[in-house]
Chain A
């Protein structure tokens, strides 16, 4: 059973670890690095709870091997808020719009939405619903989440104009 030494940058920090070939990035983040904000809810690539960004792209960390992250730059939900705990605009919008209840799907949504709004800063409602359709939530009926995405988009655009 092959083991691999890997090095990557996670949330701005150089990290390393020893993983089996079969270890997914999600399991490495959770168990190897203790970053348990990335959640596993299906482990077969449907629910989106494990979404992180790798080299700037939002991906499902249950569908990537840890060994494939060698040299990559990874951002998890733990990497979004400021060092003082200040929520990112997307996180703050989820809080303001009641975009979460049990919170289990939330890290995946926050990561997906952050990437989605970078690609599409001014989405329509149907683009929002399509854009978050790769993440499953069982609590909110998505209404608070859709509202949060709209709110975050508005605030991010306003900040862009103001900057």
Chain B
């Protein structure tokens, strides 16, 4: 297949528009916002995982000089609207935990906000928070899914009557059982992925200012979606949407944690409204680790039936997903999505699944880069388990089962249909780049010396731009300003994705202007069209095609005006770098600045039928996901004494369609891969059995550093995506494929001495335990 040609701007690794300000300290993040007479908030949080509140005494806190207010649930909860995101709030069938701004009669995890203190400074607010006395009557808590599902377990949400938030399953399938009964090989494992937390470098934060005279709420927010935030704030506060203005400046990462609008931000808005004042809350790192949404924490028992040649005949998946107490986005459950995607890029003709979502007295689950990615973890680990059981090489086993590039559209046994993916190609590319056969020989030599090397594969397809609720549509407005410069207004919310750069490239390409002359405006609900936010690998596809359409519409307007100015037919004109010229006669030209001047000046003598407008809005709508795909292969060495894992090489072969900017694409892949590696080897949010969190600082929650991160080699397979711009989404993928690749590599190394691991994280202690259990 031939790759689509790069454009003059699209497809080029142009330098980022964001960089000069961010490199010089001139970025503007929410903590940089100062509003006159702004007050500061701190939360009083529960230090018990489950307890009834018997009394709250705020008097000592209120007496502290500089303290403006202390609000408890009794103050802010009555009258508050729903706090759920739009997709839950507008779905009457949604099962949601009874979330309130502050704790009501009880607390349900360590970190549950009980009161909010408003004071002249953050330090004073923290001083006062320590003076709030909360009397608790402790209750037994459930700190794990196992505990929550036990007979007679204490209930996380007594009003919901049980600890299972949802329980979906396919009917019993006798034919599938028959396949298992007669299969040449059956493998079953329990796969565990532990709890992580997204930890963007910038914690959450908000400045909310309410003017009781105008009834206007002004909010500055660290978010992935200002428009969703505006709707959320309007619902919770009862203000009409038009009286809520949400702005974001630079945002220091989100990774899903800022996609919806969390509880604390909504509570701060209510406090500001109550006080008629401006209130800033900047989450500190301990709060972020303790109480911002957590991620992952999945367990599944998986069985595969294979024939003698290693073809997968059927699968069974019994999946448990931990929701915590207050998941972000209702139950937080993507469980059914995990099951639906489990077959991934492989022919798995028959499947049975059950998916349960379980409440526990822990921090709520939320989105994190590839929220459903446990499907890849479970599937790819099981394929390696099957490879060892059948004696078929894991690469060969995948070759025998992968859906060919020319066998699509392909409908999985779960009913999901994917198309235009190249899993088989990326599998071969990644194997070639890593030098698969050479590595196997090296592995054998190392083994003879007593060293343990391993190789792991993670092959996946990724549904990007999934059109759930408001997420299927974006709009872009492109405007040629009076001087000829171009401004683009987007409903997106960049927090590291380089959207100012890539969307400027799209406009420069299709409108025909210089990249330098395009400025992108986003993150302001008063200035930009509605957008679903940046997340779900959706910006390139949905916003990108909307931007393209808007640019093409404006180009047509420009050409229409220029045709009159040049006395030429519009079809004879071409537009490049801000100059409209007659094709073949470049001396007959007019600049975009002159076109803009003509449009904006009544005296230029344009005929009355020429619209005096150089502004258009494009919309792009999708009704099904755009599929991208990649294959990750890494090699590792496991230290037999210390159990430490060193990644020797890391290769990604990926297809995200036409790349708007290959530098940006590669940066996204690099970051996602290291997040995945961090999750497998280092990051683990730990609760003890009683529900006490043990990893609430960066000394204990271990984010990988450069010294733990490998160099990543990327191979691009470029095929046109099924949309005008030819793009596919890709922001999340790096964090999906890396997890099974690393787990499988370690398991491959250990298997040589008979040791097995199916549970993450692969800490030195766990690896050593596996070695010792195998007597190695």
Contact = CB atoms under 8 A, between A and B. Distances in A.
Interface of A: 20, 22-23, 30, 35-44, 46-47, 49, 76-78, 80-81, 85, 87, 91, 94-96, 98, 100-107, 110, 125, 128-130, 132-146
B253 A35 contact: no
Interface stretch (B73-81, B326-334, B435-443, B699-707): B699-707
A17 B280 CA distance: 23
Given A37-B25, A101-B497, 6 more contacts: A22-B123, A36-B32, A40-B31, A81-B24, A143-B670, A144-B670
17 contacts: A35-B25, A47-B698, A80-B24, A101-B498, A101-B671, A103-B23, A103-B496, A104-B202, A104-B252, A136-B201, A136-B705, A137-B201, A137-B706, A138-B199, A140-B670, A142-B670, A144-B670
Nearest to B498: A101
A119 B495 CA distance: 33
A87 B23 contact: yes
A74 to B, nearest CB: 13
A54 B123 CA distance: 24
A78 B25 contact: yes
Interface in B666-698: 666-675, 697-698
B203 interface: yes
Given A129-B706, A136-B201, A43 B285 contact: yes
B201 A36 contact: no
A20 B201 CA distance: 27
Interface stretch (B12-20, B239-247, B476-484, B509-517): B12-20
Interface in B707-721: 707, 709, 711-712
Contacts of B496: 101-103, 139
Contact of A98 (B123, B495, B663, B707): B663
Contacts of B168: none
A102 B23 CA distance: 11
A136 B285 CA distance: 13
A102 to B, nearest CB: 3
Given A132-B706, A137-B201, A141-B671, A103 B18 contact: yes
Contacts of A144: 667, 670
Given A44-B285, A44-B699, A95-B15, A103 B671 contact: no
B703 to A, nearest CB: 5
Max chain B CB contacts within 10 Å: which of A37, A104, A129?
Answer: A104
A106 B709 contact: no
B27 interface: yes
B321 interface: no
Interface string B267-285: 0000000000000000011
B126 to A, nearest CB: 10
Contacts of A130: 706-707
Given A39-B202, A103-B27, A139 B699 contact: no
A20 to B, nearest CB: 7
A44 B31 CA distance: 18
A77 B250 contact: no
Nearest to A105: B201
A136 B703 contact: yes
Contacts of B252: 39, 41, 102-105
B489 interface: no
- Which 3 pairs across A and B sit closest by C-beta, in order of nearness? A37-B25, A104-B252, A103-B22
Contacts of B19: 94-95, 100, 103
A33 to B, nearest CB: 12
Interface in B18-38: 18-20, 22-29, 31-32
A102 B703 contact: no
Contacts of A39: 29, 31, 201-202, 252
Interface in B91-121: none
Contact of B26 (A37, A38, A132): A37
B200 interface: yes
A103 B698 contact: no
Contacts of A35: 25
Nearest to B32: A36
B703 A143 contact: no
A85 B24 CA distance: 8
A138 B670 CA distance: 10
A106 B23 contact: yes
Given A94-B23, A141-B671, A102 B253 contact: yes
B530 interface: no
B706 A146 contact: yes
Contacts of B495: 102
B25 A95 contact: no
Interface of B: 15-16, 18-20, 22-29, 31-32, 123, 199-203, 250-253, 255, 284-285, 495-498, 663-664, 666-675, 697-699, 703, 705-707, 709, 711-712, 734
B497 A37 contact: no
Contacts of A38: 25
A141 B667 CA distance: 8
A37 B497 CA distance: 20
A62 B16 CA distance: 30
Contact of A145 (B250, B663, B706): B706
B535 to A, nearest CB: 14
Given A96-B15, A138-B199, A42 B25 contact: no
A47 B698 CA distance: 8
B20 A104 contact: no
A143 B201 contact: no
B251 A91 contact: no
Given A103-B252, A129-B707, A146-B706, A139 B671 contact: yes
A75 to B, nearest CB: 11
A101 B201 CA distance: 11
A142 B672 CA distance: 11
A141 B23 contact: no
A134 B708 CA distance: 12
Given A40-B31, A139-B253, A104 B201 contact: yes
B706 A133 contact: yes
B251 A102 contact: yes
Given A39-B202, A102-B251, A143 B25 contact: no
Nearest to A136: B703
Nearest to A140: B671
B667 A37 contact: no
A40 B202 CA distance: 8
A43 B667 contact: no
Contacts of A101: 253, 496-498, 667-668, 671
Given A103-B18, A105-B201, A144-B667, A138 B24 contact: no
Given A77-B24, A77-B25, A87-B24, A141 B712 contact: yes
Max chain A CB contacts within 10 Å: which of B23, B199, B202, B712?
Answer: B23
A20 B66 CA distance: 15
A44 B697 contact: yes
A131 to B, nearest CB: 8
A76 B672 CA distance: 30
Nearest to A111: B25
Nearest to A77: B25
Given A22-B123, A101-B497, A103-B252, A47 B673 contact: no
A106 B496 CA distance: 12
B201 A41 contact: yes
A135 to B, nearest CB: 8
Contacts of B673: 141
Nearest to B699: A46
Contacts of B699: 44, 46
Given A38-B25, A39-B29, A102-B200, A142 B674 contact: yes
Given A42-B698, A95-B23, A98-B667, A142 B202 contact: no
A142 B706 contact: yes
Contacts of A80: 24
A51 B498 CA distance: 24
Nearest to A100: B22
Contacts of A138: 199-201, 253, 255, 671, 675, 703
Nearest to A76: B25
Contacts of A23: 123
